[in-house]
Amino acid sequence: MRTPIDRPRRLRRSVAMRALVSEVHLRVDDLVAPLFVREGIDEPQPIESLPGVMQHTRESLRTEVAELKALGVKAVILFGVPAEKDAVGSGAYDPDGIVQVALRDLVADHGDEIVLMADLCVDEYTDHGHCGVVHDDGTGRMVVDNDATLEIYAKAAIAQADAGAHVVAPSGMMDGQVAVIREALDEAGHHDVAILAYAAKYASALYGPFRDAVDVTIADGGDRKGYQQDHRNAREAIREVELDIAEGADMVMIKPALAYLDVISDVAARVDVPVAAYHVSGEYAMIHAAGERGWIDTDAVALEHLTAIKRAGANIILTYFTRWFAEHANR
């Protein structure tokens, strides 16, 4: 029988052959573990909509990070849940705010042996749940005041850097936030603190479980569509990314990940800084929910998602699967 010349199956014959020709290799070095630390609790609290993820106490956070490091994880990003919230989110820049004290603990434990990132935003700290301070736009509608918020972000960046953050990650999608933060860090002598900009962050319905994790409800049934991106737009993401790089971002992020692989791919082709993607809480929760029902294989789908994100062009992936990957899938 005549063998067709084009026979792709030859390269799929065995596990070894498939490994040899695989284009993408997901490694634990690519992953960042998002971790929540909550002020004023004595025991870690499970988060119902994020199976396996905890609101940590200061102490349990130290244990978790030590274990992650032992498993080979190279980076974590911290989110704080304060005991008290207020109109301006002062816990985000208070030197004794929960993330700042947690950063000091982790620097004492690990120095620079693990990359310590801090999410830089105020929604976890404001009583109205917005990512900035709000004011009346003149028509009786309460909207986020972009420029007043920038002043708060500058203070938060300095507080996080003073506490030992190696990377600050502004996630509020305020215009000009990267420039203001870079200038504030430099003025305070923190030239070595890097900025991971949540550059193309969409107003996504996939952040639901995260809001449970940080106890955030947006006041009056509000949303973030006035400052986060519209999911219908991809070219706008390029503009956001280019602006952030021009303002001094060292790394740029696209968020969420799986519904925006086209954006990750476009950005990776155009920029020369590291590209990160956030596989967000809803993406994680959906996989677990369907897995618990026996409808999909949780582990296989997790691996498929994370590999796809890397294949699309992300160098760095923030994912709640980091610990699982380090323990069970890092081969």
**What is the C-alpha to C-alpha distance for residues 245 and 250, in angstroms, rounded to an integer?**
7
Q: Do 132 and 145 meet the contact criterion of CB atoms below 8 Å apart?
A: yes
Among 125, 210, 227, 260, contact with ligand PBG (rule: CB under 6 A): 210
Q: Does residue number 229 form part of the binding site for ligand PBG (CB under 6 A)? A: no
Q: Decide whether 123 or 266 has the Cβ nearer to ligand PBG.
A: 123
Active-site position among 69, 74, 85, 201:
201
Among 55, 57, 126, 171, contact with ligand PBG (rule: CB under 6 A): 171
Cα atoms in the Cβ-side hemisphere of radius 13 Å centred on 163: 28
Question: The tokens of 75 are what?
Answer: 């980076």
**What is the C-alpha to C-alpha distance for residues 282 and 207, in angstroms, rounded to an integer?**
6
Active-site position among 69, 74, 155, 255:
255
Among 30, 39, 64, 119, contact with ligand PBG (rule: CB under 6 A): 119
Q: Which of residues 252-311 bind ligand PBG (CB under 6 A)?
A: 280-281
Among 153, 207, 321, 325, contact with ligand PBG (rule: CB under 6 A): 207
DSSP assignments along 211-232, one per residue: HHHTT---GGG--STTTSBPTT
Q: Decide whether 119 or 145 has the Cβ nearer to ligand PBG.
A: 119
Question: The tokens of 305 are what?
Answer: 């998602």
Taking CB under 6 A as the binding criterion, the range among 10-18, 116-124, 141-149, 263-271 that sits at the site for ligand PBG is: 116-124
CB 156 to ligand PBG: min, Å: 11
Q: Tokens 């792709």 belong to which residue?
A: 8
Task: Count Cβ neighbours within 10 Å for each residue of 14-39 and write b for 16 or more, e otherwise.
Answer: eeeeeeeeeeeebebebbbbbbbbbb
**What is the C-alpha to C-alpha distance for residues 254 and 278, in angstroms, rounded to an integer?**
7
Number of amino acids touching ligand PBG (CB under 6 A): 9
CB 207 to ligand PBG: min, Å: 4
CB 224 to ligand PBG: min, Å: 6
Q: Tokens 């207020």 belong to which residue?
A: 86
Question: What number of helices (H) and strands (E) belong to the chain?
Answer: 11, 12
Question: The tokens of 54 are what?
Answer: 């905890």
Q: Does residue number 123 form part of the binding site for ligand PBG (CB under 6 A)? A: yes
Taking CB under 6 A as the binding criterion, the range among 9-17, 115-123, 137-145, 290-298 that sits at the site for ligand PBG is: 115-123
**What is the C-alpha to C-alpha distance for residues 143 and 248, in angstroms, rounded to an integer?**
27
Q: Does residue number 202 form part of the binding site for ligand PBG (CB under 6 A)? A: no
Q: Which residues are annotated as catalytic?
A: 201, 255
Residues that bind ligand PBG (CB under 6 A): 119, 121, 123, 171, 207, 210, 224, 280-281
